Amino acid sequence: MSQKNKIPKKAYQNKDFLHSEKARTIRILSEYLEPTSRLDHHRINNTVLFLGSSRTDLDDKKSLITRYYWEAEELAYKIAHWAIRLKPKGKNFVICTGGGPGIMEAANRGAQRAGGLTIGMNISLPFEQYPNSFISPELNFMFHYFFMRKFFLINRARTVIAFPGGFGTMDEIFEMLTLVQTDKIHRNKVDIILYGEDFWRKVVDFDHLVKYGAIASEDVKLFKFVSSPQEAFDLLKKDLPRFLK
């Protein structure tokens, strides 16, 4: 009697293959389909995206970033508290962040305080960035590919609020501005807010970019400056309802 061959693994159960270079497209597709399915399951129509520094020391009372942490928390609370009461089907203006510490944590924290769901879209890094504890567990995502994470940060956002931050924040907000400037995202489909006018005007001289012809004078109308949670909330409360389904 011949011995039966051992049943081989099916391709989708072969972890060595799935982690190989040849299966990269499958991994990319998975990072698109799984978050899409989860967001749809929880009926997330659109989001308000918070960007900002991950470097916050709440024990340093003199730190400007610490001040912005609590202002981000308050603004996220105001938006989430207001949005929960809206009646259209599904969930609108859900607070979304990159899932890490600092300003991201603050925004998730404010939304949780309001009793709302809140999204965190984290990224695996050599120096691990762990998800903060204020993200709703069912909306806690971890990405490998930066470009897929960026897609989901932006895809359902109806407002992007950029608080002071470093390279990551600059990368994300300038990519957003470029997408709107080039009409890949129509300017009527998203509001862009730079929070902390003093910071942004010192760090980026937009008027100088216009003077040198690097951007058009119309391009500085793609965003608005705000400098307090109430100012930002008043602006958003007026503008966001046009996106309701």
- Round to whole Å and give the CA distance between 193 and 203: 15
Structural domains in the chain, sorted by start? 44-243 (3.40.50.450)
pLDDT tens digit string along 88-130? 788 999 999 999 999 999 999 999 999 999 999 999 887 767 8
Q: Tell the burial category of 149 from Cβ atoms under 10 Å away from its Cβ (0-12, 13-18, 19+).
A: buried
Q: Tell the burial category of 125 from Cβ atoms under 10 Å away from its Cβ (0-12, 13-18, 19+).
A: exposed
Looking at residues 191-197, what average pLDDT do you find? 97
pLDDT tens digit string along 43-102? 999 999 999 999 877 777 777 788 999 999 999 999 999 999 987 788 999 999 999 999
Place of tokens 């690097």: 214
For position 161, what pLDDT does the model report?
Answer: 98
pLDDT score of 185 more than 70: yes
Backbone angles phi, psi at 195, to 5 degrees: -90, 125
- Round to whole Å and give the CA distance between 241 and 245: 9
- Round to whole Å and give the CA distance between 134 and 33: 24
pLDDT score of 4 more than 80: no
